[in-house]
């Protein structure tokens, strides 16, 4: 039969995203962010984010349709993030998605946010090879996965973070350095003028007795705070601190991801999530993969951070795999395991 064009809706945090995908192809997308409203609080305020989704959802869907030069009647299925994420913001997206699916008489699919991050790469580079190692690095997650088939949940967890996620570390240290929220892009920018060897930040969980695929980033935050304290009487060389922190995070992430490929004899590494937009993470992953003979896949930065296209990409995989749609009484799952 004719392929269904999937509308994807994302609202797990501070980005309202809508995207349209069919047959693995991105037709159009739009994203609105409430990031600026959270900046003065130094982090996402769930209540403010939820209200921003209520305001942005319908306009963002309309914008995505316009971007794809499609109309409401072209939507053949609706996919929506059901978790993990903030419960209040997830509920806004799910309610909107249900209303649309019901009114249009099309199937609804619940999507795991992290599956969305992984599928984002397929919109740029085509189907994932089986197997591949996936490093998901975002504001809430740092996970190494062995992926065989995303649509059929054939995913093995190799390791996670013991404490903070990589993006959380960027955001928290940025605060200590007096940089604006969100910290990741701010540190990336500041680091351009800095010397990564100016400060010897630790490389947590890389010792001989540490688990090779487990991460820890809370110690880096403490180390950065101590370094900032030592400069109390002088101006803080923020760009050097930013460059050194970024180097430490990129080093640990790429070292473990490449080691996972080696140990599992996997030829492809996929790096996704907001932190995959980081310039040093991308460059170091490229360098180390080339040296190890591994093919690296990283989505373009706009598909690394939260968006609706990645949710539509999973919905499209589910449709094509013949998966069962979600009932209209489906609920959110804020702490959904992948």
Give contact residues for ligand KG4 (rule: CB under 6 A): 13, 138-140, 167, 170-171, 182-185, 188, 273-275, 277-278, 305-306
Residue 128 Cα distances to 146, 232, 245, 272, 286, angstroms: 12, 49, 31, 13, 18
Query: Of 306, 314, 318, 332, which one interacts with Zn ion (CB under 5 A)?
Result: 306
**CB of residue 173 to ligand KG4, shortest distance in Å:** 10
Q: Is 91 in the site for Zn ion (CB under 5 A)?
A: no
Task: Answer for the pair 44, 13: CB distance below 8 angstroms, yes or no.
Answer: yes
Nearer to Zn ion, 131 or 184 (CB): 184
Nearer to ligand KG4, 112 or 288 (CB): 112
The span from the CA of 248 to the CA of 174, in Å, is 14
Find the helix or strand (DSSP H, E) in which 212 lies.
none
Q: Is 14 in the site for Zn ion (CB under 5 A)?
A: no
Among 220-228, 238-246, 254-262, 302-310, the segment contacting Zn ion (CB under 5 A): 302-310
Q: Answer with the entry of Zn ion, ligand KG4, none that 278 interacts with (C-beta below 5 to 8 A by kind).
A: ligand KG4
The H-assigned helical ranges of the chain are 35-38, 46-67, 87-104, 113-125, 166-176, 183-191, 218-229, 238-263, 279-292, 301-304, 309-320
The span from the CA of 190 to the CA of 35, in Å, is 19
Query: Of 138, 143, 216, 307, which one interacts with Zn ion (CB under 5 A)?
Result: 138
Q: What is the DSSP letter of 197?
A: T
Among 39-47, 121-129, 251-259, 299-307, the segment contacting Zn ion (CB under 5 A): 299-307
- Which amino acids are annotated as binding site, given as ranges? 113, 117, 136-140, 171, 184, 188, 278, 306
Q: Is 240 in the site for Zn ion (CB under 5 A)?
A: no
Report residue 159: phi and psi, to 5°: -175, 160
């Amino acid at each position: 039969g004719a392929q269904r064009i999937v509308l994807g809706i994302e609202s797990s945090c501070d980005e309202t995203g809508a995207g349209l995908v069919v047959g693995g192809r991105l037709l159009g997308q739009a994203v609105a962010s409430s990031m600026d409203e959270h900046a003065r609080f130094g982090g996402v305020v769930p209540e403010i984010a939820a209200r921003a989704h209520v305001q942005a959802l319908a306009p963002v869907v309309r914008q995505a349709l316009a971007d794809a030069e499609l109309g409401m009647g072209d939507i053949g299925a609706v996919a929506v993030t059901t978790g993990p994420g903030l419960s209040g913001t997830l509920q806004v997206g799910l309610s909107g998605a249900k209303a649309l699916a019901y009114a249009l008489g099309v199937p609804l699919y619940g999507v795991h946010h992290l599956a969305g991050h992984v599928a984002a790469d397929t919109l740029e580079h085509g189907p994932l090879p089986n197997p591949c190692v996936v490093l998901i690095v975002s504001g809430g997650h740092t996970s190494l996965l062995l992926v065989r088939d995303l649509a059929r949940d054939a995913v093995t967890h190799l390791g996670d973070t013991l404490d903070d996620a990589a993006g959380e570390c960027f955001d928290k240290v940025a605060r200590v350095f007096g940089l604006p929220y969100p910290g990741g892009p701010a540190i990336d920018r500041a680091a351009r003028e800095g010397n990564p060897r100016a400060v010897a930040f630790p490389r947590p969980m890389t010792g001989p007795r540490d688990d090779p695929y487990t991460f820890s980033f809370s110690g880096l935050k403490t180390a950065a705070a101590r370094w900032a304290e030592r400069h109390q009487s002088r101006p803080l060389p923020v760009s050097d601190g930013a460059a050194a922190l970024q180097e430490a995070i990129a080093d640990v992430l790429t070292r473990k991801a490449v080691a996972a490929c080696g140990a599992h004899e996997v030829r492809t590494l996929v790096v996704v999530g907001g932190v995959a937009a980081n310039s040093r993470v991308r460059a170091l992953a490229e360098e180390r993969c080339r040296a190890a003979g591994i093919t690296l896949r990283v989505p373009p930065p706009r598909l690394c951070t939260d968006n609706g296209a990645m949710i539509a990409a999973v919905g499209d995989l589910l449709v094509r795999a013949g998966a069962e749609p979600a009932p209209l009484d489906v609920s959110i799952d804020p702490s959904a395991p992948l």
